[in-house]
Chain A
């Protein structure tokens, strides 16, 4: 199955700033996915990123707040913009590999102060 490298693993950011999270997959994948996991909660899908087209956002998430890039079939970034303490979460990227399995990156633990 695909192996995903995600960075940074954690960061502490000032409110009002932005953070870009990167994910690199070791094989070409059509779709990549970005999830948010708020403290003690489950995972919620933020958006789906298809190479060569704009990301598709789930209800409650907007491009201005979470811009996503997908420049090629092995790489994607998620930016968390104009951060507030409510954005403190773990952000995870994911990709679907062989046999319908979904693999996840190691996650980025974001704390906004």
Chain B
């Protein structure tokens, strides 16, 4: 059974600081997703990482994937209050080129960025 572990689960930080959220998973996969969820809202796709060594950046967020270590990171640079949200990583173990099997989610990281 695939397990996806995120840490930390709660993070309170000050604006301007840097921090990293970690996502470990237990089964071979080369497809890893990061989502943002604001309170009462649905999921917003942040990054889709599709291969070992993939690195993607959008604004103050950067995500990377190491499939050999089964680890993905979401790095926040110079945090701002607007980044406060819950961040989920999710893993897809569908065979490449085959039908989709859906995603297995981590528990989420509740991030609060204080001015």
Name the distance in Å between B41's Cβ and chain A's nearest Cβ: 8
B45 touches A42 (CB 8 A): no
A104 touches B92 (CB 8 A): no
B25 within 8 A of A: no
A103 touches B45 (CB 8 A): yes
Number of chain A residues close to chain B: CB under 8 A = 25
Contacts of B45 in A (CB 8 A): 1, 101-103
User: Which residue of the partner chain A has the closest CB to B43?
Assistant: A104
B102 touches A94 (CB 8 A): yes
Number of chain B residues close to chain A: CB under 8 A = 23
- Which among A30, A45, A50 is the interface contact of B103 at CB below 8 angstroms? A45
User: What string of 1s and 0s marks CB contacts (under 8 Å) between A14-35 and chain B?
Assistant: 0000000000000000110101
A81 within 8 A of B: no
A42 touches B100 (CB 8 A): no
Contacts of B43 in A (CB 8 A): 43, 92, 104
A106 touches B42 (CB 8 A): yes
Contacts of A42 in B (CB 8 A): 88, 105-108
Interface residues of chain B, those whose CB is within 8 Å of chain A, are: 31, 33, 35, 40-43, 45, 48, 50, 88, 90, 92, 99-108
* Distance in angstroms between the alpha carbons of A101 and B32 in the assembled complex: 10
B42 touches A107 (CB 8 A): yes
User: What string of 1s and 0s marks CB contacts (under 8 Å) between A81-97 and chain B?
Assistant: 00000000000101010
Contacts of B90 in A (CB 8 A): 43, 102
- Which among B48, B106, B107 is the interface contact of A101 at CB below 8 angstroms? B48
A92 touches B42 (CB 8 A): yes
* Distance in angstroms between the alpha carbons of A5 and B34 in the assembled complex: 21
